[in-house]
Amino acid sequence: MTVETAAGATPPEPELVQLLTPEGQRVPHERYDALIADVTGDDVRSMYRDLVLGRRVDGEAVALQRQGELGLWASLLGQEAAQVGSARALRGQDHVFPTYREHAVALCRGVDPLHLLALFRGVDQGGWDTVESNFHLYTIVIGAQTLHATGYAMGIQRDGAIGTGDPGRDAAVIAYFGDGATSQGDVNEAFIWASVTNAPVVFFCQNNQWAISEPLERQTRVPLYRRAAGFGFPGVRVDGNDVLACLAVTREALQRARDGEGPTLVEAFTYRMGAHTTTDDPTRYRLNAELEHWKLKDPIERVKAYMVRGDLADQAFFDGVDEEAEELAVHLRAACRALPDPTPTSIFDHVYVEPTPHLVEQREAMATYLDSFAEEVAR
């Protein structure tokens, strides 16, 4: 049954998958309860740790940028549950194509956060091992990674690494992007390619309500997850501040992909608590009342309340996680400031596995040019 709405009318509120209320109360869900039935108290404690460490790394990076140690930083504040929940749904053989904000996903995939700081410090172009982690390099061009992810998923499909029934072989790809990216041509082209090829990819949209200073209503007239239907694959909206719901929904979507059932669009409905990046001033375009409203839905406090309700942790545990987070922040601050500046010619070192003659020629020309300055000073 189709519900017609007049032009300009607000459409019906879409279903929001939620397993934990903002107060930390577990609510049953007929479809998704089974997908987290294996989650133990240890798993919840581990996810809580990831949430806290992710937020602390993010906070330290913001401080480092404010003090001139980083050129820029894109904060994840408020989006920790969307990232940790979805990342915990991944298997080792799955691949991740991030934007520039998936710091907690990187942590879950075993990427040293110092590599993230090095990128934003400008001393390298992404130094982590993407083969070891299956966590690909950050993408600054808005939405471009969705095409990369779709192409990689098509490769997995052609390698026969889906639909075999072997949980150690069947693989999927997840592409992260924000609500603003859904207005980019690349994202819509990726949707088309994924749909017509039935590619094993999950499009994970972190709808944080703001595309820099543009609100959600300037991006779409309908809930984002409903766009999937127009491309011919399922879409689902999940409470992006609920780590258990994000885990369950992403598990289902990834398994569909691994089984050869094609793409899914997951819209994680969350909120960007901080600035778009450290060059942005959100007080110029949004009200403080909106921010205060979303503070009541804080993803970390939600899990903490759930753990306290269920006697899953005591104060000693919470204190221990906070202490670990502070130790990590101290380590990252010192390590970041100690990162050596690269030599100008090092930009040529990692373009190809083996340097080409043309690349060697360019490197030598730059070295000669730089040496000329030293000769000038010597005179």
Set 66, 221, 285, 309: catalytic member? 285
Q: Which two tokens stand for residue 214?
A: 């543009």
Instruction: Write the DSSP symbol of residue 204.
Output: E
Reply yes or no on whether 285 is catalytic: yes
Reply yes or no on whether 138 is catalytic: no
CA 295 to CA 186: how far, in whole Å?
A: 33
Rounded to a whole number of angstroms, the distance between the first and last alpha carbons of the chain is 84
Q: Which two tokens stand for residue 33?
A: 């309860």
Reply yes or no on whether 276 is catalytic: yes
Among 317, 304, 182, which residue's Cα sits nearest to residue 241?
304
CA 133 to CA 109: how far, in whole Å?
A: 6
Q: Which segments of the chain are extended strands (E)?
A: 95-97, 173-178, 201-207, 210-211, 214-215, 235-239, 264-269
Chain centroid, CA 172 distance in Å: 16
Task: Judge whether 66 and 88 are in contact, CB under 8 Å.
Answer: no
Following DSSP, what letter does each residue of 242-282 receive, concatenated?
Answer: -HHHHHHHHHHHHHHHHTT---EEEEEE----S-SSTT--G
- ∠ CA 279-283-285 to the nearest 5 degrees? 95
Q: Which two tokens stand for residue 165?
A: 């029934």
Instruction: Write the DSSP symbol of residue 94.
Output: -
The residues pairing with 176 across neighbouring beta strands, listed in sequence order, are 204
Task: Judge whether 190 and 153 are in contact, CB under 8 Å.
Answer: no
Set 272, 302, 306, 363: catalytic member? 272
CA 143 to CA 164: how far, in whole Å?
A: 31
Active-site annotation, residues: 272, 276, 285
